[in-house]
């Protein structure tokens, strides 16, 4: 029967509209569901996700030692040339010359947070930090040197 189908169609349409209105009505009457973060106000308690990729950093331990061997894998992996590794040769205790990192230059202004440098690093010397407040008055300040002053490679990292 055509008329029965017609009434069924109207009834199901009304039911589906009511379902939608029930959900928005629930949200309206339950302000606790609000997911908005009032950012500058909650800065002290703000918790960023660990997966969030904000910038590349090179962790240093308490002896000011890092794990970077200066192999330039990250520089080669970077698709837009945001990383420049300047290497030097150090003479170790046995009198042998060994390649080491002099300056690990990182251009935050060009970086697309693609994570390829972190995947390319054989010694896990660099990683992604979840910081995000990168605003600076001069763009030269976005060009960063990742290895600290006077830092050296950790013992046993090849």
Q: Quick one: DSSP state of residue 79?
A: T
Q: Which residues contact 148 (CB under 8 A, 6 or more apart)?
A: 60, 64, 66
Q: Which two tokens stand for residue 140?
A: 């030269």
Closest CA to 146 of 111, 98, 114, 94: 111
C-alpha 105/C-alpha 130 separation (Å) is: 19
Shortest Cβ distance from residue 28 to another protein (Å)?
Answer: 5
Q: Which string of x and - marks every residue 52-91 that binds another protein (by CB under 8 A)?
A: ----------------------------------------
- The Cα–Cα gap between 121 and 142 comes to 22
Query: Does residue number 40 form part of the binding site for another protein (CB under 8 A)?
Result: no
DSSP, res 92? -
Contact between 20 and another protein by CB under 8 A: the answer reads yes
Contacts (CB under 8 A) with another protein, residues 84-123? none
Contact call for residue 17 and another protein (CB under 8 A):
yes
Choose, by CB under 8 A, the member of 27, 52, 89, 132 that binds another protein: 27
Which of residues 2, 5, 15, 35 is near another protein by CB under 8 A? Answer: 35
H/E element, 17: helix 2-29
Region of 30-38, 50-58, 84-92, 102-110 interacting with another protein (CB under 8 A): 30-38
Interaction site with another protein (CB under 8 A): 10, 17, 20-21, 23-25, 27-28, 31, 33-36, 38
């Amino acid at each position: 029967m055509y008329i029965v189908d017609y009434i069924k169609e109207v009834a199901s349409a009304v039911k589906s509209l009511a379902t939608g209105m029930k959900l928005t009505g629930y949200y309206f009457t339950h302000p606790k569901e609000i997911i908005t973060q009032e950012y500058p106000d909650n800065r002290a308690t703000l918790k960023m996700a660990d997966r969030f990729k904000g910038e590349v950093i090179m962790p240093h331990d308490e002896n000011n030692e890092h794990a970077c061997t200066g192999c330039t894998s990250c520089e080669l992996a970077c698709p837009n040339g945001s990383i420049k590794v300047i290497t030097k040769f150090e003479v170790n205790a046995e009198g042998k010359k060994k390649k080491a990192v002099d300056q690990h230059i990182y251009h935050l202004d060009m970086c697309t947070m693609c994570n390829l440098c972190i995947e390319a690093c054989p010694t896990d010397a660099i990683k992604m930090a979840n910081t995000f407040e990168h605003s600076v008055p001069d763009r030269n300040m976005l060009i960063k040197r990742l290895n600290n002053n006077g830092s050296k490679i950790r013992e046993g990292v090849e």
